[in-house]
Amino acid sequence: MTGDCLDKSSIAKMLEANPPLIEGYQDLAAQLQPNGFDLTLAEVAAFGEPGILGETNAQRFLAEATALSFAADGTIRLDPGAYRVTFNEIMNLPLDIMTLGQARSSLLRSGVAVHGAVGDAGYRGRYQALMVVYHQGGFTVARNARVMQLVFFRLEQPATEGYQGRFLGENLL
């Protein structure tokens, strides 16, 4: 791979673009990292009926998920298991930028993982990820907590066509 990983100053510069690389962040000073950007927690949802992944998109059905309520103090207690999380930030990826996400190390050290997918060039929307609580005692997390760090990569050449899948523009309302 010959593309470049963006550093803090490169990401900050792209926040001034039109549209900005990232919108809706909570605290720029806390979220902008030397090698990425921390995404903050907007919603946690519990899975219900299972999903189906067929051979074609027409045979794909996402697992049902129901949003959970935060307590009056802004936290939510999670039992061991898998949850769908939605982030506050809106991503506006240009055709020459893609992302990969990783759980913040504080979660890993608490027995919690966050699994993300590739953020394709041209994507616009709010990312969702899978949070898995492995610790047998569960885990408590606060609304707006920084839970996933995105790393941005500049492609060697801009994509000729940006992301066009069903999740383009997701979670913007």
Q: What is the full DSSP assignment across 65-89?
A: EEEPPPPTTSEEEE-SEEEEEEESP
Question: Which pLDDT does position 3 carry in this prediction?
Answer: 65
**Distance between CA atoms of residues 100 and 47, nearest Å:** 24
pLDDT given at position 8 = 97
CATH number for the region 4-48+64-154 comes to: 2.70.40.10
Task: Give the residue-averaged pLDDT of 82-96.
Answer: 97
Cα–Cα distance for residue pair 73/93, rounded to 1 Å: 34
**Cα separation values, 148 from 54, 86, 99, 109, 170, Å:** 29, 11, 12, 14, 18
Stretch among 19-23, 27-31, 69-73, 157-161 having the lowest mean pLDDT: 157-161
Model pLDDT for residues 91-112, shown as the tens digit of each residue: 999 999 999 999 999 999 999 9
Note the pLDDT of residue 168.
Answer: 76
Q: What is the mean pLDDT of residues 28-56?
A: 95
Burial 75-86 (b: 16+ CB within 10 A, else e): ebebeeebbbbb
* Residue-level length of the chain: 173
**Average pLDDT over the chain, rounded to an integer:** 94
Q: How far apart are CA 55 and CA 142, in angstroms?
A: 38
**For residue 58, which phi and psi values (nearest 5 degrees)?**
-65, -20
As a whole-number percent, the residues of the chain with pLDDT over 70 amount to 98
Task: Tell me the domain boundaries of the chain.
Answer: 4-48+64-154
Q: Reply yes or no on whether the pLDDT at 1 is more than 50.
A: no
Supply angle C-alpha 114, 84, 166, rounded to 5: 105
Q: What is residue 150's predicted lDDT score, i.e. its pLDDT?
A: 97
Q: Stretch 58-82: mean pLDDT, rounded?
A: 95
